[in-house]
Structure 1
Amino acid sequence: MSRRIVRTGFQLAALTTIAFLVVFFLDNRYRVLPQSVHSHLPLHHEGLVITDITIQTCSSLNPLSKCMLDQKIWHRVEKDLYLGSGWVSKAYVHIKRKREEELTNEDKVVVDVRTGKLDPAMGEKAQASEKWESRPAGVWIKRSLKRHASDSKKAVTAVDVLYGTDAVEPRPGWELVKNGALHLETGNDSKDPHLSVRRGPPAKLEKPIPKIRKDGKYKIMQISDLHLSTGVGVCREPEPKGANGGHCDADPRTLDFVERLLDDEKPDLVVLSGDQVNGGTAPDVQSALFKIIGPLAERKIPYAAIFGNHDDEGTLSRTVQMGLYESLPYSLSEAGPNTIEGVGNYFVEVQAHSSKHSALTLYFLDTHSYSPDEAHYRGYDWIKPNQINWFKTTAEGLKDAHSHYTLKHLNMAFIHIPLPEYGHPENERVGNWTEPITAPIFNTHFKDALVEYDVKTVSCGHDHVNEYCSLSKDNSTGEPEIWMCYAGGSGFGGYGGYNNYIRRLRVFEIDTNQARVVTWKRLEYGDLARRVDEQIVVDSGRVIPLQRANQE
């Protein structure tokens, strides 16, 4: 979350017949959305091999220049290497490719790619048939004749571009080209573009099957509001201010924090609950997104993602981003039905340790972004009636299957924008309520649907420095209904400037033997070994009041 984004207009500077449009999206804590650029995902065709790679540079000032080579021969990777920041130049990677069965004996296929100013063969014992060939922007390619390499595992089959000195490549079969970024013309704002290449066909991924551990427990780490950028990003309001000698790059510090706690907590599942990407500082969303997927894939941790209001303010829509999530290793994320509003309405079943029966159901819903009716309901959008109907129908349909589980089945839910009921001041709370909640003004009463279908906890993100759990009770009986929690903001690319806020994340541990849910928070700085505000929210399958949780 961040404050409301206000469009402040545009600047138009016509140097020739071409116009440059720069749209600034600003909130009261300053964030800028860079110029929109092409950022399509690479095309992956099985059976294709790359036969040549080059870089085509052209003038941004010439309206007739399309930076496009002969389309009958070359395929362009649709990412400007300058990401729209080169006011004088644009540049694109172009590749030649052929189906393997169409290769002739004279065709060469690319078997290796490097970057650098010097010939990589210097100091190597290269075979005469495998000399390095120079291409623009410091690209070097090694090619072999078809009879040597067309059917080998060395043949390059796809090329992509990722950006930033901290670029990460989590896709199986892909690797970043060695020796760093491309060498573009000086005088432009370099985004450190890196080539990434794939060998072999696209990996066929199997979705992981979440299961309760042998000890009957299951741990979920909720990471919210990472606000990752293309490149290292700029820290906003870091605490403590003097850490690291006062130097703070947002994404490296954020990811160092997250990785330390992944190794410490060893979660069975990570929930990415929105604003993984800071759209205003991520002109290449893919590069930003990969930075959190990399550590999870490396540790083989399954994850489920939903969107916040900033994820799709960059160059990729929610639909495209969810398609990307679905294609990545260890992802449980789903677009959900296209017959209801939003992208990312789905559920995940966690199986019992010793059977295929569901012990725990996790619901994920898209809370959208900004109000579609500012005249009457200023602020943020709301969960729509057809989403609520989908949730009810789904939960009703799962009842019979859940009844076969021999212990008490549990339900939880995750969203990004909080529900209006989070702001009821009379609710008992554990944790800090530091800023006004920015829930939608229009209430579709999704909280009541959650209670009706036995969801014991719901947890959100969005308000970075709110990190409490609030207990909702039945109005007529006073009995506890549901705990509504915040994760707290974890990313240094998002705001955090209230009450010396320390970035944090939330952990839920489910004990299926006791039908118990315990939650706590972990901080980025200070006593990392300590669980903050640890409390029992569900015991023996029942939502329990604050007093009982404290007594425990």
Structure 2
Amino acid sequence: MLRVVGSVVHRIFKLLRRTFIPLAILLFLFTAVLDIHTQNFYNNRVVHVEKYTGGRISGLKRIRCHSWFGNCNQIVERSEDGTQGTDTITWYKIGRELSLDGSSYLDHQAWSSHDYLYVTYADTEGDAVVDVALGDPRSLEPPQYVVKELTKSKLGKAKSRFDVSGHYDLNGWTQLKDGIWVKYGPFESPEAITDITYLFGEDVIEPRPQWNLVDGSLSFHPHHPIRLSFARGVRRRELPKLRLSKDKMFKVLQLSDLHFTSDFGVCLDQKDAVDECHADAKSLAFIHRVIDEESPDLVVYTGDLIDGSRTFDYQTAFLKALSPVISRSIPFAIAMGEHDTSVFASRDVIVEFLTTLPFSTMHRQTQEQWIGNITNYVIPVMSDIDDSLAVSAIYMLDLFEANSPEPLETILHRLYNSLPNKPSMSLEFQHYPIAEYRPRGAFALVGQYNEKTRLKSSRTDKNTRKVLSDIGVQCMSVGSEHTNECCIRSDAQPDQHLKELWMCFGPSVGEGAYGSTAMDRRVRLFKLDSQNNQITTWKRHRDDPSEVFDYQFIQK
């Protein structure tokens, strides 16, 4: 019996000895392959590492991220050259919700994978990327942008870009994958790129100061060209400070219901229809003309800047809609509309993007701040001679913030009490009209009142009229109803402690929004006259932007 047991044990040990080395090799290979995947899964699913948030970079690359990695903010790969004394390199995802193939990580299905653009941070002791160009991914020839730079450089003409050894002498330019070319320079160079992103579409506009739109596009998406945009230098986000002009005036331009997209946009309900009409470009031409005519001190957007249901990339659409004011360094304010959304990004993400834009009066004070305290705000207009004296207040209300912990009355009183003093002239802007915009009986009216459908009470607060009276607002103005462009007077009611209030509409300026074939697109303006304590309003229209009509006094 003992001999049998001993024989079995001997055979087992012999078998283990023969299989140990192959098993060890297989185990080593298995862990070597999966250790990177395990690290990426842990970083993105468990630790929730940060994505790229700006800074000098040394690399730019398209990487396919698997859905089981989660948000894909960081991807660890094996280094091809073993730089930095390690065999791995960490890539940081450029902060976009949209992947290069046009999907959001929120929509990723199990076992799927999607492409994103990633960067590596530059080492302070090494070189950094100072320029980017896009060329043909199938060719080794540098793109025309690089060739033109070499032509202007000390290297001589473009045809002499080969040195005597027969190699390219590209003056710091290096070809990466997918047609991406980068130029390297010293880390401390003022030309070093400090932020980079990508936008979608054939109608991209990059209005932000210090940002540069790269010529050409990446062809990762079959229907939407991908454009790279990068920034140089230190970008400081300063909150605009509004004050009266030297003649004691302050002018506000109201733009409403642009309904821009990340494409050219389709023209709707044209007064003078043409076969080929790009809605967004046509709208922008009108807006540019009005701004040149009026030189406003503030531009107020009363909702639906973009058409979320028809917009592939919300960032591209917002930048295009805001380009006339950002490019002119004009402060702007936004009252959010129901179409200022995206299927690829949450509302919080969209608002966060808007707060980062230059000349935006919407800002985040703390990271813990409730979003409604960002999108509901007041803008004081200060005296031209005394920075501590507010001569006017402009309130911006967001009617589409769900689950508000505060009623509208509390929000407005808090904003009112935050002012350094109680100004004598105040305006309020929001997207959707309140119930008093449907008055009964006879009422004073200036302008066209074409839409009178029943209002949705769930979108407004029944106490708005009284609260606006309590905090001294003389006029409110809304959008939403595209062909209404009138001002309605709500008379004072002393028995209910209600002061007179003018309730105006800002007509739709967007050619891609519904309208009327009998009416061209229009804009509304307001002027605050501190010296005479007057508020006036008027309109301009696309057929003749030089013409002013329906000029009226709101307060005199």
* Shared fold per TM-score greater than 0.5: yes
- Partner amino acid for 1:428? A
* Structure 1 residues 163-242: aligned runs within 5 Å: 163-177=200-214, 179-184=215-220, 188-189=222-223, 191-201=224-234, 203-242=235-274
Aligned counterpart, 1:154: 191
Q: Residues of 2 paired with 1:73 and 1:119: CA distance?
A: 28
Q: Residues of 1 paired with 2:320 and 2:454: CA distance?
A: 28
Confirm or deny: 8 A CA contact 1:322 1:334 kept in the other structure: no
Shift of 1:238: 2.3
Confirm or deny: 8 A CA contact 2:306 2:321 kept in the other structure: no
Aligned counterpart, 1:26: none
Confirm or deny: 8 A CA contact 1:363 1:412 kept in the other structure: yes
Aligned counterpart, 1:143: 184
Shift in alpha-carbon separation, 1:122–1:359, aligned structure 2, 3 A: closer
Aligned counterpart, 2:432: 417
- Partner amino acid for 1:418? P
Shift of 1:470: 0.6
Provide, for residues 380-433 of structure 1, a one-character-per-residue CA deviation record: whole Å limited to 9, x for no partner. xxx9962212212442564x723xxxxx72111111111011011433211112
Provide, for residues 229-281 of structure 1, a one-character-per-residue CA deviation record: whole Å limited to 9, x for no partner. 11222222222213xxx321111111111111111111011111111121112
In structure 1, which of residues 105, 116, 121 is the aligned counterpart of residue 135 of structure 2?
Answer: 116
Shift in alpha-carbon separation, 1:82–1:263, aligned structure 2, 3 A: farther
Aligned counterpart, 2:56: 49
In structure 1, which of residues 332, 335, 346 is the aligned counterpart of residue 377 of structure 2?
Answer: 346
Matched, 1:510 2:534: no
In structure 1, which of residues 385, 389, 412 is the aligned counterpart of residue 410 of structure 2?
Answer: 389
Provide, for residues 183-210 of structure 1, a one-character-per-residue CA deviation record: whole Å limited to 9, x for no partner. 347xx22x12111112234x11322211
- Partner amino acid for 1:181? S
Shift of 1:438: 5.7
Greater Rg over alpha carbons, structure: 2
Aligned counterpart, 1:490: 509
Shift in alpha-carbon separation, 1:495–1:153, aligned structure 2, 3 A: same
In structure 1, which of residues 217, 237, 261 is the aligned counterpart of residue 290 of structure 2?
Answer: 261
The TM-score with structure 1 as length reference comes to 0.75
Shift of 1:58: 8.8
Matched, 1:522 2:540: yes
The TM-score with structure 2 as length reference comes to 0.75
**What is the SS of the residue equivalent to 1:363?**
strand
Aligned counterpart, 2:121: 97
Matched, 1:334 2:363: yes
Shift in alpha-carbon separation, 1:155–1:504, aligned structure 2, 3 A: same
Q: Residues of 1 paired with 2:405 and 2:524: CA distance?
A: 27
Shift in alpha-carbon separation, 1:43–1:501, aligned structure 2, 3 A: farther
Aligned counterpart, 1:300: 329
Give ranges in structure 2 of 5+ residues lacking alignment.
Answer: 1-49, 78-88, 156-168
Q: Residues of 1 paired with 2:57 and 2:555: CA distance?
A: 56
Aligned counterpart, 1:18: none
Q: Residues of 1 paired with 2:251 and 2:198: CA distance?
A: 35
Aligned counterpart, 1:457: 475
Shift in alpha-carbon separation, 1:454–1:111, aligned structure 2, 3 A: closer
- Partner amino acid for 2:522? R
Matched, 1:284 2:290: no
Moved more, 469-478 or 299-308: 469-478
Provide, for residues 319-349 of structure 1, a one-character-per-residue CA deviation record: whole Å limited to 9, x for no partner. 3333223222222123589468575111011
Shift in alpha-carbon separation, 1:89–1:132, aligned structure 2, 3 A: farther
Q: Residues of 2 paired with 1:63 and 1:236: CA distance?
A: 43
Shift in alpha-carbon separation, 1:156–1:528, aligned structure 2, 3 A: closer
Confirm or deny: 8 A CA contact 1:364 1:415 kept in the other structure: yes
- Partner amino acid for 1:160? T
Shift of 1:156: 2.1
Q: Residues of 2 paired with 1:355 and 1:133: CA distance?
A: 55
Matched, 1:401 2:421: yes
**What is the SS of the residue equivalent to 2:392?**
strand
Q: Residues of 2 paired with 1:167 and 1:362: CA distance?
A: 31
Q: Residues of 2 paired with 1:490 and 1:502: CA distance?
A: 9
Greater helix fraction, Structure 1 or Structure 2: 2
Confirm or deny: 8 A CA contact 2:239 2:361 kept in the other structure: yes
Shift of 1:476: 5.9
Shift in alpha-carbon separation, 1:369–1:462, aligned structure 2, 3 A: farther
Aligned counterpart, 1:448: 466
Confirm or deny: 8 A CA contact 2:199 2:315 kept in the other structure: yes
Shift in alpha-carbon separation, 1:331–1:122, aligned structure 2, 3 A: closer
Confirm or deny: 8 A CA contact 2:493 2:499 kept in the other structure: no
Provide, for residues 457-507 of structure 1, a one-character-per-residue CA deviation record: whole Å limited to 9, x for no partner. 0001111111111110134679971000010111122211x3523111110
Aligned-residue CA RMSD (Å): 3.4
- Partner amino acid for 1:347? V
- Partner amino acid for 1:119? P
Q: Residues of 1 paired with 2:547 and 2:346: CA distance?
A: 39
**What is the SS of the residue equivalent to 1:529?**
strand
- Partner amino acid for 1:348? I
* Structure 1 residues 310-325: aligned runs within 5 Å: 310-325=339-354
- Partner amino acid for 2:511? F
**What is the SS of the residue equivalent to 2:195?**
strand
Confirm or deny: 8 A CA contact 2:122 2:128 kept in the other structure: no
Matched, 1:467 2:473: no
* Structure 1 residues 78-89: aligned runs within 5 Å: 78=96, 79-84=98-103
- Partner amino acid for 2:550? D
Shift of 1:173: 2.6
Q: Residues of 2 paired with 1:340 and 1:183: CA distance?
A: 36
Confirm or deny: 8 A CA contact 1:110 1:143 kept in the other structure: yes
- Partner amino acid for 2:176? R
Confirm or deny: 8 A CA contact 1:116 1:183 kept in the other structure: no
**What is the SS of the residue equivalent to 2:399?**
coil
Shift of 1:215: 1.2
Q: Residues of 2 paired with 1:340 and 1:431: CA distance?
A: 35
**What is the SS of the residue equivalent to 2:349?**
helix
Shift in alpha-carbon separation, 1:122–1:299, aligned structure 2, 3 A: closer
Shift in alpha-carbon separation, 1:89–1:341, aligned structure 2, 3 A: closer
Q: Residues of 2 paired with 1:425 and 1:528: CA distance?
A: 34
Aligned counterpart, 1:436: 452
Aligned counterpart, 1:547: none
- Partner amino acid for 2:378? F
Q: Residues of 2 paired with 1:236 and 1:152: CA distance?
A: 49
Provide, for residues 498-525 of structure 1, a one-character-per-residue CA deviation record: whole Å limited to 9, x for no partner. 352311111001111111111111112x
Matched, 1:358 2:387: no
Moved more, 251-260 or 71-80: 71-80
- Partner amino acid for 1:466? N
Shift of 1:361: 0.7
- Partner amino acid for 1:237? D
Q: Residues of 1 paired with 2:350 and 2:477: CA distance?
A: 22
Q: Residues of 2 paired with 1:57 and 1:206: CA distance?
A: 37
